[in-house]
Structure 1
Amino acid sequence: MGVDTELVKTHVRPRCFMDVAVDNILLGRIVFELFDDFCPLTCENFRALCTGEKGLGKTTGKPLHFQGVIFHRVVKSFMVQCGDFSTGNGTGGESIFGGTFPGINLT
């Protein structure tokens, strides 16, 4: 047995982070590894929303970034949801591409 070097990936996936605070008290940092080799549009959208580098949204007119966004859904011992920078309740948001973009099928 050997290793087929053509099959060995050398791609390093990008990472980004969110600092989480309550009442301006830093609680910690969440680091995300982005699987841009599987879903490049989704990853680029998320990365740019973390950095805030894309300015204002074309459809919402709101800043395209996660800074100051609240966790609009918290399920104890399971998960949190956040990212709705336009309405703050999980019903809004916008991609860096303007509005929405096609989903991906990983099946």
Structure 2
Amino acid sequence: MDNLMATAWSGMRAAGQGVQVAAHNVANLATADAPRLQVQRAAVEQGGVQTRVTAAGADPAAPLADLLAANAEVVAFAANASLVRRQDQMLGSLLDRRA
């Protein structure tokens, strides 16, 4: 169970970081020297995901891509949060049965 929770928490952290990066990119559209950032993800051997923020190249479609990415990250966060919530409910039910 701990591995499942750790995986969900890491997914939530990665999604939150993705939203922050997308917000950074959208907020700095008018700033000429502001670097465009991207989140790179890598699977962790024990389960979950590890992230790293890197500079991204210029892309004319970047504003639309960043807005779509932010929406996708919100959905990913909600899905992982739902898993955490369900796991908590299951654990509570298990404890109620044992009590």
Q: TM-score, normalised by structure 2?
A: 0.26
Pick the structure with more helix per residue: 2
If asked which structure has higher relative contact order (CA below 8 Å, sep 6+), I would say 2
TM-score (norm 1): 0.25
**Higher strand proportion (structure 1 or 2):** 1
